[in-house]
Each structure stands twice: as structure tokens, then as C-alpha cells.
Chain A
Amino acid sequence: MISLGDDKRKRNQMNIVDRALPDRKSKKEVSLSAFSFLFSELVQYTHRRVTHIKELERRLADVGYSVGLRLLEYISWKEKVQKRETRVVRFLQFIVSTVWKMLFGKTATLEKSVDKKEQYMITEDTTLINTFISVPKDMQGLNCASLVGGIVEGMLDGADFPARVTTHSVTVEEQRFPKTVILIEFDEEVLERERQLGN
């Protein structure tokens, strides 16, 4: 039998909110394959239950949404964010830099749409999540990164920036894989608030 320290025992009896966050240094990372396998199972499971690609994407996004809500809180603690971000651009920057680094180990590109004021885009050439996925011909247009889109939507919602988030693949010439674009359209109220806050 392994003997356990007192603090461990105490930890397990404590309410979950009172426990310390798991320490990243002492804790080893879960391997990428473990995640990929799990993700592929999720996609297959969802695939069996839907009739349409759009629906499949939406359900992946739903799963991502609930991840995003929790992730926001976790990362805010971890990074010792003192204040809640109220400006759109700054919050988006927080997502593409801090959050992306934490999730995927690199940053993404943030772009603002020229035509429409409420649109922002997060683009990535290669999405980690799509690394092991090959899309069958008859399901063209499917992008499993909708899960990531869902995560972004969840975070935005949690930080009180209601928005519509959609994920698209864009084919780029001279590139083997299409790049992933996460399109964010903010609701009117966010823009209104942004105007009020001014510069």
C-alpha cells in the first residue's frame, strides 16, 4: 500500500472551491496523443448522432463553449489577472496571446475586418487540433476546429462580450492545408459600450 500524506487526505475532503489549483510545475503535461485520441472519439461520437455537417460543427462548438467558460476563470487565476478587461481589442489580444499560448503553446494572429466594424478574426495557419484529422471528400467544409471556436465564444461570453463565433477553413494557394479562421461578430451592445468608453 502507498501511504498518503495528511495534506493529501485533507485536500480530498475539502470543498473543491477551497482547494489550491493544481500546480503546473509539479504536474506533468498530458501527452498530445492522449488529447487527440479523446478528441477523435468525441468527433466520432457526435458524428454518429447528427445528420448534417453544420450540426456536427455546432455540437462541437457547444462542447467548446462549456470548456471556454471554465477556462476563462482558470486562466485568469493562473495569470493573476487583477482587473476584468472591458475593451474589446485588449480582451481579444489576451485570448490570442495568453490563452493560445497556454492551450497550444503558440500565439495566433488577430485581425480586424475592414468592411464591418463588429467583425474580428483569429487566424492560424495550422491548428493543433486539426493535426491528425483528414477530412473525407464528401464532408468538405467540415472543420473540427469549431471546438476551438466554441471555446472562444465561451470565453467572450464569460467576460461579457456576447458575440457570434463561427469557424471557417480558408484555402490558401501554395499551401497544402487550409488555414483556420475564427470569425467573431460582436453584438450591438458590445459596440455601443465600446463607443461610450471612447478612446
Chain B
Amino acid sequence: MFTLTYGAIVCQLIKELDSLDEVNNQLDKMGYNIGLRLIDEFLARSNLGRCRDIKETAEVITKVGFKMFFGVTANVANFNPKKQSFLIQLEDNPLIDFVELPPQYKDKLSYSNLLCGVIRGALEMVQMKVVCTIKKCPLKGDEITEIKVKLIEILTTEIPVGDE
């Protein structure tokens, strides 16, 4: 049902928005909003403390986060300490069962773009600004789903005036 609902949403977006870029954007935006709120539940349920570095963050996202919400585990690959980036590899992507992209969408539509937004939104809430892009997708003939996450900066906490 989750998968089918997501599919129906994507269809609806394609129908209503003018270009596929806009669809991608909207999916990312929706994911971002989800991520902002999802992190709360995630922290409450996982009992995890603050991550020390990006490597640990990567591990937590893939081993705990994906497991908790999608019931699948992902792998971290190509960890790059200099560029502060890594790849998330998903063998099973729950969003793309029963899906086949028609040829005219193959190039431009990133179907699981929602996931990028989710990761971005969730990490922003723990003061990490990242950029996520889908690098590989089985719908486009690749073997696995691959999401690239790149750390832009660590946001500094600003304590609001009058707050201790």
C-alpha cells in the first residue's frame, strides 16, 4: 500500500506539474518536510546520542534509519573523508516495486527523489547541511539504488535570545 500510494502520488505530480524537473523538486520538497519531522521520531525511538562524525552518521542512517522506516538495510560505500561524502547503496528499494518507467521519463525523472529529501531534512535537524542526489536507480537499468550524500557544512547552533 505504501508503495502504491507513493506511485499514485508521483503520477498525480506528473499530471499536475509542467516539467519533470518540477516533479523532482516537489518530491524532494515533500521528502524534506517528512525528514524534518521524521528525525524526532527517529531520535525518540533509537536512543542514540549525537554522532561524532560523518562516518558514524552514515552508519546510523543506513543501519538504523532505513531499517526502522523501510524495513531494509542499506550499505555505505565509497566513503570519502576528504570530500566528506559517501554513497548509500540500497539493494531493495521499497519505493520501486511494481514500477516501470515509461521511456519518455527514463532520463529525467528521479523516481525515488523523495528519499533524498528525507535524508536532507533529517540531517538538517541535527545540524548537518548535506546535498543528496540519486546516482543509480534500478528503474534506469542499474543494479541497485545509489544515493550520494555530500556534507556541505555543520550548522552552528544558535541559542535563541532568552533561552538557556
Q: Which residues of A contact B (CB under 8 A)?
A: 1-2, 4, 8-9, 12-13, 15-16, 22, 27-31, 33-35, 37-39, 41-42, 44-45, 49, 59, 62-64, 66-67, 70-71, 74, 103, 147
Contact = CB atoms under 8 A, between A and B. Distances in A.
Contact of B41 (A33, A63, A66, A71): A33
A29 B71 contact: yes
Interface of B: 1-9, 11-12, 16, 26, 30, 33-34, 37-38, 41, 68-72, 75, 77, 89, 91-92, 94, 97-100, 114, 138, 141-144
A67 B1 contact: yes
A27 B71 contact: yes
A30 B2 CA distance: 7
The B interface is mostly helix, strand or loop, or mixed, namely: helix
Contact of A37 (B16, B34, B143): B34
Given A28-B71, A49-B16, 4 more contacts: A12-B138, A31-B68, A41-B34, A44-B33
Contact of B2 (A13, A38, A64): A38
Contacts of A45: 26, 30
Contacts of A2: 75, 77, 89, 91, 144
Nearest to B97: A22
Given A9-B143, A74-B98, A63 B71 contact: no
Given A2-B89, A31-B70, A67-B4, A37 B141 contact: no
Contacts of A4: 91, 143-144
The A interface is mostly helix, strand or loop, or mixed, namely: helix
A12 B38 contact: no
Q: Give the top 5 A-B pairs by smallest Cβ distance, nearest first.
A: A28-B71, A16-B100, A41-B30, A34-B69, A37-B34
B141 to A, nearest CB: 7
Contacts of A8: 91, 143
Nearest to A49: B16
Contacts of A44: 33
Nearest to A11: B138
Nearest to A74: B98
Nearest to A63: B8
A37 B5 contact: no
A64 B77 CA distance: 38
